[in-house]
């Protein structure tokens, strides 16, 4: 079986962590199938990136580093990826599910006559037969499946494999010739706009998820709302602990209902059945009841703790490892003081 590990470089050069994770899986698959591995890299600095993973056991390294692919662009990325898939003659293509690849690889699959599956969390081989796994129905059903169509492109989720570590060297990479048409070059990236670092509350790569629930916006024991104070406590903690911010649905819904709430919270933060299912080593839930439609989004949080006034809250019903029965305003103020 011919396996192609297909990557792109990131801004500033080098391979993203998600690519190194896929390399671990591709190298393991090569061993399991007794097949061959090729590495294909698109983007600026592709040859240097190939040298950095020279010790991965790949028999060949193909690159597309033309100026046309220096920046992500659907048309040129699709053309480059399709060219590498065809040139490698791969049966199986493994690639990270980055934003850049999620956008262009379905188009590349069409051009290369390939099948493609996204959000794959595991790939294993029994002889020539390759089985992939992905979650369905909001991470409730894990499905193992196989395909006989070739080439088969597999876009892997981040965080499910350890990043590849190994010796750099001389990859002797070969630049593939890709003919980019004028139409391919029609769109140009004139700049990027990103929020200030402290406005980015969703951080998939940090160890800790901090979840705020609607309790932060409820009347507290003095009969008053303390929403501004809640905002300060939460943001202070996020900064000090470098945590990613999650929310319950009730809290983010308040905004659309016109109620005063935490201004830095959006629907993007919502964790749960109709929100996200982030992956972090630890999670701390505060002022959130831990109802099933919320807690299902914690499926990939390994160690779970919660702070709630209610000793019978959902977290205490076997959904958390530790529940602190207490006032989150007081607890987080103390935690922040300890972190200072």
Contacting range for ligand FAD; rule: CB under 6 A; set: 9-17, 67-75, 128-136, 325-333: 325-333
The whole-angstrom separation of Cα 121 and Cα 115 is 17
Please say which residue, 113 or 293, places its beta carbon nearer to ligand FAD. Answer: 293
Could you say which residues in the range 287-316 bind ligand FAD, by CB under 6 A?
287-289, 291, 293-294, 297, 307-310, 313
Contacts of 337 (CB under 8 A, 6+ apart): none
Contacting range for ligand FAD; rule: CB under 6 A; set: 20-28, 67-75, 113-121, 326-334: 326-334
Cβ atoms 56, 27 nearer than 8 A? yes
Contacting range for ligand FAD; rule: CB under 6 A; set: 55-63, 112-120, 173-181, 283-291: 283-291
The whole-angstrom separation of Cα 14 and Cα 163 is 14
Take residue 220 and report the two structure tokens written for it: 């507290």
Please say which residue, 195 or 223, places its beta carbon nearer to ligand FAD. Answer: 223
| Angstrom distances, CA of residue 328 to CA of 10, 245, 293 | 40, 16, 22
Burial class (CB in 10 A: 0-12, 13-18, 19+), 37: buried
The yes or no reply on residue 214 touching ligand FAD (CB under 6 A) is: yes
Give the count of residues interacting with ligand FAD (CB under 6 A): 30
For the chain, where are the alpha helices, taking DSSP H only?
17-33, 46-52, 74-88, 99-112, 227-241, 249-256, 292-295, 328-339
174 closest CA partner among 87, 101, 111, 95 = 87
Please say which residue, 185 or 228, places its beta carbon nearer to ligand FAD. Answer: 228
Please say which residue, 10 or 308, places its beta carbon nearer to ligand FAD. Answer: 308
Instruction: Candidates 249, 280, 304, 319: give the one binding ligand FAD (CB under 6 A).
Output: 249
In this structure, how many other beta carbons lie within 10 angstroms of the beta carbon of residue 149? 10
Nearest distance from C-beta of residue 99 to ligand FAD, angstroms:
22
The yes or no reply on residue 220 touching ligand FAD (CB under 6 A) is: yes
Binding site residues, ligand FAD, CB under 6 A = 213-215, 218, 220, 248-251, 270-275, 287-289, 291, 293-294, 297, 307-310, 313, 327-329
């Amino acid at each position: 079986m011919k396996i192609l590990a297909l990557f792109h470089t990131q801004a500033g050069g080098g391979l993203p962590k998600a690519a190194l994770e896929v390399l671990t899986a591709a190298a393991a698959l090569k061993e399991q199938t007794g097949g061959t591995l090729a590495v294909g890299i698109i983007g600026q600095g592709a040859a240097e990136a190939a040298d950095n993973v020279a010790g991965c056991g790949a028999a060949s390294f193909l690159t597309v580093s033309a100026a046309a692919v220096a920046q992500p662009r659907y048309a040129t990325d699709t053309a480059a990826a399709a060219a590498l898939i065809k040139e490698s003659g791969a049966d199986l293509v493994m690639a990270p599910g980055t934003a850049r690849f999620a956008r262009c690889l379905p188009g590349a699959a069409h051009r290369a006559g390939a099948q493609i599956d996204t959000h794959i969390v595991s790939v294993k081989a029994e002889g020539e037969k390759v089985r992939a796994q992905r979650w369905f129905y909001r991470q409730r059903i894990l499905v193992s499946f196989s395909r006989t169509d070739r080439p088969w492109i597999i876009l892997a989720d981040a965080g499910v494999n350890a990043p590849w570590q190994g010796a750099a060297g001389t990859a002797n990479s070969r630049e593939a010739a890709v003919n980019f048409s004028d139409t391919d070059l029609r769109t140009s990236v004139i700049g990027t706009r990103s929020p200030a670092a402290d406005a980015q509350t969703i951080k998939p790569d940090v160890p800790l998820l901090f979840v705020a629930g609607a309790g932060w916006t409820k009347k507290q024991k003095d009969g008053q709302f303390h929403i501004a104070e809640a905002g300060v406590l939460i943001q202070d903690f996020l900064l000090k602990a470098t945590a990613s911010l999650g929310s319950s649905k009730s809290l983010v819904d308040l905004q659309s209902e016109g109620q005063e709430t935490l201004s830095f919270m959006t629907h993007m933060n919502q964790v749960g059945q109709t929100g996200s299912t982030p992956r972090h080593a630890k999670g701390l839930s505060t002022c959130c009841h831990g109802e099933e439609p919320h807690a299902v989004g914690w499926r990939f949080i390994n160690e779970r703790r919660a702070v709630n006034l209610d000793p019978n809250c959902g977290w205490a019903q076997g959904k958390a490892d530790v529940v602190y029965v207490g006032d989150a305003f007081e607890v987080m103020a103390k935690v922040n003081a300890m972190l200072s």
